[in-house]
Amino acid sequence: MAPARPHARPRAGARPGRRGLGAAAGAAAGAAAAAAAAAWGPAARRRRGGPRRGRRARRARGAGAGRAGAPRRRRGPLCRAVARAAQARAAERGRGEAVGACSERRGAAAGREVSLVAVSKTKSAEAIGAAHAAGQVVFGENYVQELLGKAPLVPAAVRWHFIGKLQSNKVRALLAGVPNLVAVETVSSVKLADKLAAAAQELGWGVDGVEPLGAYVQVDTSGEASKNGVPPEEAPALAAHVARACAGGLRLRGLMTIGAPGDPGAFDRLARAREAVSRELGVQPGTLELSMGMSGDFEEAIQRGSTSVRVGSLIFGARQPRAPAA
């Protein structure tokens, strides 16, 4: 199949989106995504001031892994955004505010800024839109099909993190159907990293001034067979592979862990894994993010070094149990 090169012309406002939702991707993405692609592709994103526009976007987001200085994020807007997002739903009033305020307070106490990925799985596009209207920009989803369905329905300026188990055979559909994907947090094998890097480059990430796709190496810090991720001792090798061999399409942003409930030691193990990774790469640990902490433990995670918390139910309310996968 001829590679789609939607980002070949980075000139803003030049022409409508030309991302080819190729046959495979189109089928997987479904009719909604295909219909939305023209109005919503990368060129449209550039027109609207979407998220992946090279240096300027990078600066706005702060220096990332491998660049000078520690990752920097804005602090105040996080709090206000989450607060307003919560207020968008009277029933949830106060929740988001608590998350934002706590994140900022803890982060400030630790001399760090902490970013928030609002985990919107099982929640409607309307709920995401309300949170976005209130200022939250980064959202996380953990099922490919669910994200493919929702992505075209939310504002184009939303930036997505994929935070779920990702099978190599779904990589292309994910990237083709979600042009505003900015990071995959669940890179747990060389094979997956290679697939992501190839698809990212083919579809325009890391090409012609467009940001590479962010990648986090997922680490299994609790030694649970059910958890995904590499054991901590394998993190340096995988991170080095992502940072070097995959550099064309991916940018290593840091490490991610879920951690067993009630095991805050998992956060310390991720922080130690980052030390090892930074030695392997010859960079300062602070240039690598630590994505850890959810609704139940984000404060603990921040105290133990988190730079990015992934919070869902505390913001959007409890989730209904998911229907069994088909």
Binding interface with ligand PLP (CB under 6 A):
119, 121, 142, 163-164, 258, 294-296, 310-314
Min. distance of Cβ 314 from ligand PLP in angstroms?
Answer: 6
**Complex with ligand PLP: residue 22 or 96, whichever CB lies closer:** 96
Helix (H) or strand (E) holding 309: strand 308-311
What is the signed CA dihedral for 229, 231, 236, 239, rounded to 10 degrees? -10
Min. distance of Cβ 312 from ligand PLP in angstroms?
Answer: 3
**Complex with ligand PLP: residue 164 or 248, whichever CB lies closer:** 164
**Complex with ligand PLP: residue 4 or 314, whichever CB lies closer:** 314
Min. distance of Cβ 141 from ligand PLP in angstroms?
Answer: 9
**What residues have CB less than 8 Å from 77, skipping those under 6 apart?**
135
**Complex with ligand PLP: residue 66 or 228, whichever CB lies closer:** 228
Min. distance of Cβ 310 from ligand PLP in angstroms?
Answer: 4
**What residues have CB less than 8 Å from 65, skipping those under 6 apart?**
71, 243, 251, 252, 253, 254, 283, 287, 288, 289
What is the signed CA dihedral for 263, 265, 266, 268, rounded to 10 degrees? 160
**Complex with ligand PLP: residue 43 or 79, whichever CB lies closer:** 79
The pair of three-digit structure tokens given for residue 274, joined into one six-digit string: 């980052």
Helix (H) or strand (E) holding 162: strand 159-162
Min. distance of Cβ 147 from ligand PLP in angstroms?
Answer: 12
**Complex with ligand PLP: residue 142 or 222, whichever CB lies closer:** 142
Residue nearest to ligand PLP (CB): 312
**Complex with ligand PLP: residue 279 or 322, whichever CB lies closer:** 322
**Complex with ligand PLP: residue 136 or 142, whichever CB lies closer:** 142
What is the signed CA dihedral for 59, 60, 65, 70, rounded to 10 degrees? 100
Given a contact cutoff of 8 angstroms between Cβ atoms, the answer to whether 129 and 316 are in contact is no
Given a contact cutoff of 8 angstroms between Cβ atoms, the answer to whether 217 and 187 are in contact is yes
Q: Mapped to the 3 state alphabet, what secondary structure does 242-272 carry?
A: HHHCCCCCEEEEEEECCCCCCCCHHHHHHHH
Given a contact cutoff of 8 angstroms between Cβ atoms, the answer to whether 82 and 99 are in contact is yes
Min. distance of Cβ 189 from ligand PLP in angstroms?
Answer: 17
Min. distance of Cβ 318 from ligand PLP in angstroms?
Answer: 8
Min. distance of Cβ 292 from ligand PLP in angstroms?
Answer: 9
DSSP assigned state of 230: B
Q: How many Cα neighbours within 13 Å face the side chain of 181? A: 34
